[in-house]
Amino acid sequence: MKQITTSQELRSYRDTCTGSVGFVPTMGALHEGHISLVKKSVAENDTTIVSIFVNPTQFLPGEDLDAYPRKIAADIKICELAGVDCLFMPTTDAVYTREEPAICAPKIKGYILEGYHRPGHFDGVLQVVLKLLNLTRPTRAYFGKKDAQQLYLIQNMVRTLFLTTEIVPCDIVREKDGLALSSRNVYLSPEERERALLLSKSLKRATKMIIEGERDAEKIKTQMRKILSPTAIEYIEIVDRDFNRLDEIEIDNTIILVAAKVGTTRLIDNMWV
């Protein structure tokens, strides 16, 4: 596996690739969720490039940029074992210069839900993803449905900026008990981890209500709010696949989203219905 730290090296490496290229951007501290994306890319492409970069521009002041878990030695091993061909691990200086054109997330869909609670977060996400897509020029890029709004905004960017990469959505990987895997789960104490389970529990309850015939979004959100009451709820929302708010569930076109703080740890989860 080739390990690269500068953008020039990555460009040169890309020029040597023949056939299809799969790309999996991450912030490291890799877990089974990341690995599922990597395995899909390895299975579907001739070459797989993974990036590990804790992108400072997507963190707001006061967020966990400095504390964000970093496990680089383990990550390298994981990528090697998964069959990654090239691992890009740039420093901040290798990605950003002092003065740059601004990338702004769409004014509405980039500033609701996650974007409302983390204003500017998606500007940073789109900025780094655009740079990484330009460097790797992948045939396919793999993103988790765990970050559903991020996935939507990246698909929107690729479509509206006429990029040629196919964005491949990947299912959420969970622990046996339902907790969605996240690099941030390491922040949770055993007691907090129990409470964190309420996110997936509330989504399971919502799904059960829908299976039983409930279509009223407000009624579903009320039940979820009750389940999530031991957490600090940031939002519970039901949207269609284009992130328009829904009053009525539309089967095969609905995403139920939740964000809540457990202790000081901010968690998100969602269910595609």
CA angle, 228 as apex, 210 and 152 as ends, to 5°? 60
Q: Residue 113, interface with ligand AMP (CB under 6 A)?
A: no
How many residues bind ligand AMP (CB under 6 A)? The answer is: 17
Q: Mind spelling out the 3-state secondary structure of the chain?
A: CEEECCHHHHHHHHHHCCCCEEEEEECCCCCHHHHHHHHHHHHHCCEEEEEECCCHHHCCCCCCCCCCCCCHHHHHHHHHHHCCCEEECCCHHHHCCCCCCCCCCCCCCCCCCHHHHCCCHHHHHHHHHHHHHHHHCCCEEEEEHHHHHHHHHHHHHHHHCCCCCEEEEECCCECCCCCECCHHHHHCCHHHHHHHHHHHHHHHHHHHHHHCCCCEHHHHHHHHHHHCCCCEEEEEEEEECCCCECCECCCCCEEEEEEEEECCEEEEEEEEC
Q: Is 11 exposed, middle or buried (0-12, 13-18, 19+ CB in 10 A)?
A: middle
Binding mask 242-271 for ligand AMP (x = CB under 6 A): ------------------------------
Q: Residue 182, interface with ligand AMP (CB under 6 A)?
A: yes
Q: Return left, alpha or beta for 205; rule: phi > 0 is left, psi -120 to 50 is alpha, else beta.
A: alpha
Which range in 128-136, 167-175, 230-238, 255-263 contacts ligand AMP by CB under 6 A?
Answer: 167-175
CA distance 264 to 188: 9
Residue placing its CB nearer to ligand AMP in the complex, 26 or 57 = 26
Q: Residue 146, interface with ligand AMP (CB under 6 A)?
A: yes
Write down the least CB distance from residue 132 to ligand AMP, Å: 11
Torsion angle (degrees, nearest 10) of CA 252, 256, 257, 260: -150
Q: Pick one of 180, 198, 203, 259: the residue that binds ligand AMP (CB under 6 A).
A: 180
Residue placing its CB nearer to ligand AMP in the complex, 150 or 231 = 150
Residue placing its CB nearer to ligand AMP in the complex, 94 or 173 = 173
Which range in 42-50, 174-182, 194-202, 225-233 contacts ligand AMP by CB under 6 A?
Answer: 174-182
The catalytic position among 31, 34, 117, 121 is 34
Residue placing its CB nearer to ligand AMP in the complex, 110 or 144 = 144
Respond yes or no: is residue 121 known to be catalytic. Answer: no
Q: Pick one of 17, 34, 111, 256: the residue that binds ligand AMP (CB under 6 A).
A: 34
Residue placing its CB nearer to ligand AMP in the complex, 67 or 226 = 67
Write down the least CB distance from residue 143 to ligand AMP, Å: 4
Residue placing its CB nearer to ligand AMP in the complex, 54 or 228 = 54
Q: Residue 17, interface with ligand AMP (CB under 6 A)?
A: no
Q: Pick one of 183, 185, 202, 231: the residue that binds ligand AMP (CB under 6 A).
A: 183
Q: Residue 87, interface with ligand AMP (CB under 6 A)?
A: no
Catalytic residues: 34
Sites of contact with ligand AMP (CB under 6 A) = 26-27, 33-34, 36-37, 143-144, 146-147, 170, 172-173, 180-183
